């Protein structure tokens, strides 16, 4: 990977990531999120659903540098059998800036939020061919599970509720990380 990446109006060096602000999104971010989702997901349905998720998510954080939104993560808390579980919906980073730690910072912010809300674990889904996302989550301690393993952890009824809420499709990769409170 090149040390400097050019994207339109500014260069981004790895050292610039220290200036990256991960903040709660606002309504004013809508057009920027829409544009970014279109760039990341092209014309696929995910570009539409990421924008819908931005409007409907319980919490959305954006990664911003010098006024430019470089990534976003959409979150919700799902209550199952009196326990709270965090769900990372869409997470996406501008392709020009992937591999620089922005996705990692967004997931860490999500985990902080879920920990403050007393969630016992964090869940996410990705396509089996999204190797970048799988590597990112694995590097942060997430395990890849099959549907039956979700049922082993939560029980079949709660597992089915979780998978339905996460909009699981057969073949998706289920990602899971317990949160510990030492």
Expressed as residue numbers, the domain containing 173 is 4-178
Tell me phi and psi for residue 170, to 5 degrees: -50, 130
Euclidean distance between CA atoms 64 and 70, whole angstroms: 6
Q: What CATH number corresponds to the domain at position 136?
A: 3.40.630.30
DSSP state of 58: S
Taking only the tens place, the pLDDT of each residue in 14-26 is 667 778 999 999 8
Look at the chain and report how many structural domains it folds into.
Answer: 1
Contact partners, residue 169, CB within 8 Å, separation at least 6: none
pLDDT tens digits along 128-160: 999 999 999 999 999 999 999 999 999 999 999
Its pTM stands at 0.87
The pLDDT confidence band at residue 13, using thresholds 50, 70 and 90, is: low
Residue 60 contacts residue 79 (beta carbons within 8 Å): no
């Amino acid at each position: 990977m090149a040390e400097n990446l050019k994207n339109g109006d500014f260069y981004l060096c790895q050292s610039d990531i220290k200036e990256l602000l991960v903040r709660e999104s606002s309504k004013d971010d809508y057009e920027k999120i829409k544009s970014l989702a279109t760039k990341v997901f092209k014309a696929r349905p995910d570009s539409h659903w990421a924008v819908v998720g931005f409007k409907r998510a319980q919490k959305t954080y954006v990664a911003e540098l010098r006024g430019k939104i470089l990534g976003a993560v959409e979150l919700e808390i799902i209550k199952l059998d009196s326990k709270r579980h965090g769900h990372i919906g869409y997470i996406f980073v501008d392709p020009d800036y992937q591999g620089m730690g922005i996705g990692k910072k967004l997931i860490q912010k999500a985990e902080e939020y879920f920990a403050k809300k007393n969630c016992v674990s964090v869940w996410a889904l990705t396509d089996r061919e999204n190797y970048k996302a799988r590597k990112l989550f694995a590097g942060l301690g997430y395990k890849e599970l099959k549907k039956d393993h979700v049922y082993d952890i939560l029980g079949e009824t709660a597992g089915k509720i979780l998978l339905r809420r996460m909009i699981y499709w057969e073949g998706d990769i289920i990602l899971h990380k317990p949160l510990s409170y030492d």
